[in-house]
Amino acid sequence: MAKQVEQVCVVKGWQEGPVIDESTLKDDLTRHFYYTLGRDKVGESQLYLYHALALTIRDRLVARCRETNKKIKQQKSRKTSYLSLEFLMGRALGNAVLNLDLEDQVSSALQEYCTKIETIEDAEHDAGLGNGGLGRLAACFLDSCASLALPVIGYGIRYEYGMFNQSMSDGNQIEQPDNWLREGHPWELSAPEHSKRIKFGGYVNSYTDKQGREHRQWVSSHDVLAVPYDVPIPGYKNNIVNTLRLWKSEATDEFNLTEFNAGSYSEAVAQKNLAEQITMVLYPNDSSENGKELRLRQQYFLSSASIQDIVDQWVNDHGESFTDFADYHVFQLNDTHPSIAVAELMRVLVDDYELDWDDAWQITTKTMAYTNHTLLPEALEKWSVSLFSKLLPRILEIVFEINARFLADVAQHWPGDVDKQRELSLIEEGGEPQIRMAYLAIVGSYSVNGVAALHTELLKAGLFKEFYALWPNKFNNKTNGVTPRRWLAHCNPTLSELISEKIGSDWVRDFAQINQLRRFYDDTSFQTQWQDAKVINKQRLVDLVKERCGVEFDVSMMFDVQVKRIHEYKRQLLNILHVIHLYDRIRRGDTQGLVPRCVLLGGKAAPGYYMAKKIIKLINNVADVINKDPLASSYLRVAFLPNYNVTAMEVICPATDLSEQVSTAGKEASGTGNMKFMMNGALTIGTLDGANIEIRDAVGADNFFLFGAEAHQIDDIKSRYNPAHLIEQNSDLANVMHLLESGHFNLFEPCLFDDVINAIKSPHDPWLVAHDFESYVSAQKQVDKAYADQAYWTQMSILNTAASGIFSSDRTISQYSDDIWHLTPLNTSDTDSTTATSKATKS
């Protein structure tokens, strides 16, 4: 199995070669523009200038990446592989310029072309290889790992088409394919020499080796090639550049050859298409299970390619002894999506390297760690045994074997309790037998973590209760975080400059220092500067909303924002009911104490999610009626921003006054949007859910607008839930329902919102919209009161930013490293000592 060690000829001056001299940046840009890209007229397209600049920056990243890989080898570092079906990276240029500290050089080089970085940045497409929070978390984690100088490699899929582009037609969501690679992706480098073969189909044979041991052999499979594309991940000003390795599927050569030789040219090409389909498109479902064969192919494709990559490197460096493998490698599974890696590592060790089952299991369960992201039952992945047996016959055998041995343990722990075995089995019986992927992940891992304190507690007490009883020490919490580089330093230069004037600029590296801002919260001249920065940021959003929605926002009004995937549990519906309530008050002339607001909503609905799409249509219709009513315009303006993505959020969160985090308690595992808003000085109106709880604890109850039922009350409320009664009792809600039911927002589209109305009125509404309405409205009144006192509001805003230190993903990643991965930071002393730290925020 071991590869021949390649003869290497090192070009003198290049292997040892210093990191590229920054004084050549201007020349490199010119060279790439004129020669690599073959352009001569600057004016013809900023796109080529963007590409030339990206290549110029990439040269510098590649140099540092080579040095980083050398260090990992020299220091014999233990390494983490972060496996994720999603990496929602957004744009790379601005982030790389910031992290490499090249802002001055770049802007001076661009002067020659009569342009500036902000203009060039707009030519870059978002790398939208994710749905929402889970994918964006993976991207923030990569930034933090590199900034903390931790040896971590990301493994993902190079989807040809990322998250769909959303546009609006008459208030309805239209999905368009995201052909993000059309104009080329200048950041990646392909490495076809490291391609892997991935097996699908076929069947399993037995054979006996010379020692008389029996082995299984996966044969007659239809193999697909996994070709790696490497994207450099720069740390913040520490010369570390890690790698995100994205796999693309391709047909194998000999596969085509046999078909061609048989004379079936078209069939051969069709087979090629089939192979390439695997990485063609990202599944656009957030928090919902899918069950499609192609999705399972994607999951196994990523898992197998990545495991093989690590194992091949191991065998190259250490030979075929795996005794120490677990001392050097950890696989962190981002949700159950790549959890098939547990069985794949077993297959490689047992089949390819002929390890005994027990030895292989020891190694596997010391290297796998699993992060759970949701409690929603509809998101828990299950795959039918029959699909597995067709697609991955050998993997199915391994899952059965893991299960048999696990159930023997269960029988020991709970003697005679057959129900327990049925409950905990990796195979769900009754109807079509299904494999419970979360159970496979738990059984195969030494660490299982939730993503916020409440979420982890709910996992231990509910969904994974029996597993917690079996292995209490596996379970731990790692509250999510976001990178302060992208989500404050880069996206909010105005506020960043102000902050750095006051407390120095070290907060970008060591975000715990942001708490020094506290000292200035009651400094009136600082407050004025803080407000001025907000106005500048609001103007940027005003321009975006005008351009995309045609709605006029006004910087003098409160910016009330909810942007995230559209989902019933996130309760955009509750928000829009409040908007209707405000409109109702305006119509009734009840404007006493009403603070003028601009309400912005945005987010994509999964293409097959009927209710989510209805909610988008409702938001748009309500916005339309309100924006056309001259009576309302001085009090209330509403817009739905199409195509919410990372780049849009970089404009939105700096401009937001009020962050809407209103999920039904117990449903939002953590949330990370809430953290981006807080860092940028927004105040939160929210339920006690996910990380909202920790945000409120950090900033203090006085600086947070709390409302709604708590997680522990939900079951009781549901048992006697009577929305009709609640509507009858609350005249505000009754008025809102009356406007909805009278067709005020769908005059020419009768019955359009009947399903939405019925959902609110249903005694079985799982999201308890009607229940939380009253306390939501009353919390919103508190918001108005607070906002009316601008000095007071500004104090709270400063305190929110100042208390956001623990929501840096540097803190999260330090905890992953300390408690789960046990990594040693790479030496940066020979290059730069300024590596991100989170010492002060470690709990």
Select 563 or 823, whichever has its Cβ closest to ligand PLP. 563
Residue 335 CB, nearest approach to ligand PLP (Å): 14
Stretch that binds ligand PLP, among 45-53, 129-137, 188-196, 346-354 (CB under 6 A): 129-137
- Catalytic, 676? Answer yes
* Token representation of residue 366: 């010391």
Select 105 or 800, whichever has its Cβ closest to ligand PLP. 800
Select 135 or 154, whichever has its Cβ closest to ligand PLP. 135
CB of 74 within 8 A of CB of 247? no
What does residue 706 show for φ and ψ, rounded to 5 degrees?
A: -95, 145
CB of 25 within 8 A of CB of 56? yes
CB of 206 within 8 A of CB of 219? no
Select 235 or 671, whichever has its Cβ closest to ligand PLP. 671
Select 132 or 186, whichever has its Cβ closest to ligand PLP. 132
Select 249 or 562, whichever has its Cβ closest to ligand PLP. 562
Partners of 249 in the beta sheet? 226
Please state, in angstroms and rounded to a whole number, the distance separating the CA atoms of residues 317 and 416: 48
Residue 572: CA atoms inside 13 Å, Cβ hemisphere, count? Answer: 28
- Catalytic, 839? Answer no
Select 91 or 509, whichever has its Cβ closest to ligand PLP. 91
Q: Say whether residue 133 binds ligand PLP (CB under 6 A).
A: yes
Stretch that binds ligand PLP, among 181-189, 332-340, 547-555, 645-653 (CB under 6 A): 645-653
Cβ–Cβ contacts within 10 Å for residue 612, how many?
22
Q: Which residues, 6 or more positions from 481, have their beta carbon under 8 angstroms from its beta carbon?
A: 140, 144, 672, 675, 806, 807, 808, 809, 810, 811, 812, 813
Please state, in angstroms and rounded to a whole number, the distance separating the CA atoms of residues 623 and 598: 11
Residue 572 CB, nearest approach to ligand PLP (Å): 11
Q: Say whether residue 450 binds ligand PLP (CB under 6 A).
A: no
CB of 680 within 8 A of CB of 487? yes
- Longest CA–CA span in the chain (Å) reads 91
In the 8-state DSSP scheme, what is residue 821?
Answer: I
Q: From the candidates 158, 474, 614, 676, which is the catalytic residue?
A: 676
Q: Which of 127, 495, 646, 740 binds ligand PLP (CB under 6 A)?
A: 646
In the 8-state DSSP scheme, what is residue 132?
Answer: S
Q: Say whether residue 132 binds ligand PLP (CB under 6 A).
A: yes
Q: Say whether residue 125 binds ligand PLP (CB under 6 A).
A: no
Residue 66 CB, nearest approach to ligand PLP (Å): 31
What does residue 830 show for φ and ψ, rounded to 5 degrees?
A: -75, -10
Q: Which residues of 96-112 are buried (b: 16+ CB within 10 A; e: fewer)?
A: bbbbbebeebbeebbee
Please state, in angstroms and rounded to a whole number, the distance separating the CA atoms of residues 80 and 307: 12
Q: Which of 673, 686, 723, 825 binds ligand PLP (CB under 6 A)?
A: 673
Q: From the candidates 570, 578, 585, 604, which is the catalytic residue?
A: 570
Stretch that binds ligand PLP, among 106-114, 425-433, 468-476, 671-679 (CB under 6 A): 671-679
Stretch that binds ligand PLP, among 8-16, 444-452, 523-531, 668-676 (CB under 6 A): 668-676
Residue 447 CB, nearest approach to ligand PLP (Å): 23
Select 572 or 703, whichever has its Cβ closest to ligand PLP. 572
Show the binding pattern over residues 48-87: x = contacts ligand PLP (CB under 6 A), - = does not. ----------------------------------------
In this structure, the strands spanning 368-371 and 214-219 are unpaired
In the 8-state DSSP scheme, what is residue 349?
Answer: I
Select 349 or 451, whichever has its Cβ closest to ligand PLP. 451
Site for ligand PLP, residues 563 to 582, rule: CB under 6 A: 564-565
Q: Say whether residue 672 binds ligand PLP (CB under 6 A).
A: yes
Q: Which of 278, 410, 512, 649 binds ligand PLP (CB under 6 A)?
A: 649
* Token representation of residue 837: 């730290």
Q: Say whether residue 671 binds ligand PLP (CB under 6 A).
A: yes
- Catalytic, 373? Answer yes
Q: From the candidates 373, 460, 485, 509, which is the catalytic residue?
A: 373
CB of 623 within 8 A of CB of 598? no
Residue with tokens 């239809």: 222
* Token representation of residue 597: 């607001």
Q: From the candidates 68, 672, 687, 801, which is the catalytic residue?
A: 672
Q: State the Rg of the chain over Cα.
A: 28
Q: How far is CA 791 from CA 222, 295, 522, 537, 559, in A?
A: 67, 52, 9, 18, 17
Comparing CA positions, the residue from 377, 303, 271 lying closest to residue 82 is 303
Site for ligand PLP, residues 202 to 241, rule: CB under 6 A: none
In this structure, the strands spanning 683-686 and 658-661 are parallel
Q: Say whether residue 654 binds ligand PLP (CB under 6 A).
A: no
Select 51 or 565, whichever has its Cβ closest to ligand PLP. 565
Please state, in angstroms and rounded to a whole number, the distance separating the CA atoms of residues 261 and 193: 26
Residue 355 CB, nearest approach to ligand PLP (Å): 41
Stretch that binds ligand PLP, among 351-359, 415-423, 574-582, 670-678 (CB under 6 A): 670-678
Cα 267 off chain centre by: 38
Partners of 157 in the beta sheet? 247
Stretch that binds ligand PLP, among 222-230, 362-370, 669-677, 699-707 (CB under 6 A): 669-677
Residue 87 CB, nearest approach to ligand PLP (Å): 12
Residue 694 CB, nearest approach to ligand PLP (Å): 13
* Token representation of residue 600: 């912005």
Length of the chain: 843
Q: Say whether residue 779 binds ligand PLP (CB under 6 A).
A: no
Please state, in angstroms and rounded to a whole number, the distance separating the CA atoms of residues 715 and 737: 25
Residue nearest to ligand PLP (CB): 673
Residue 696 CB, nearest approach to ligand PLP (Å): 16
Cβ–Cβ contacts within 10 Å for residue 643, how many?
21
CB of 98 within 8 A of CB of 121? no
Please state, in angstroms and rounded to a whole number, the distance separating the CA atoms of residues 815 and 481: 11
Total of chain residues touching ligand PLP, rule CB under 6 A: 12
Residue 571 CB, nearest approach to ligand PLP (Å): 12
Select 28 or 668, whichever has its Cβ closest to ligand PLP. 668
Site for ligand PLP, residues 527 to 566, rule: CB under 6 A: 564-565
- Catalytic, 295? Answer no
Stretch that binds ligand PLP, among 57-65, 239-247, 666-674, 740-748 (CB under 6 A): 666-674
Partners of 602 in the beta sheet? 563, 641
What does residue 244 show for φ and ψ, rounded to 5 degrees?
A: -110, 115
Select 234 or 673, whichever has its Cβ closest to ligand PLP. 673
- Catalytic, 564? Answer yes
Q: From the candidates 248, 565, 567, 597, which is the catalytic residue?
A: 565
**What positions carry a catalytic annotation?**
373, 564-565, 570, 672, 676
Interacting residue ranges for ligand PLP, rule: CB under 6 A: 132-133, 136, 564-565, 645-646, 649, 671-673, 676
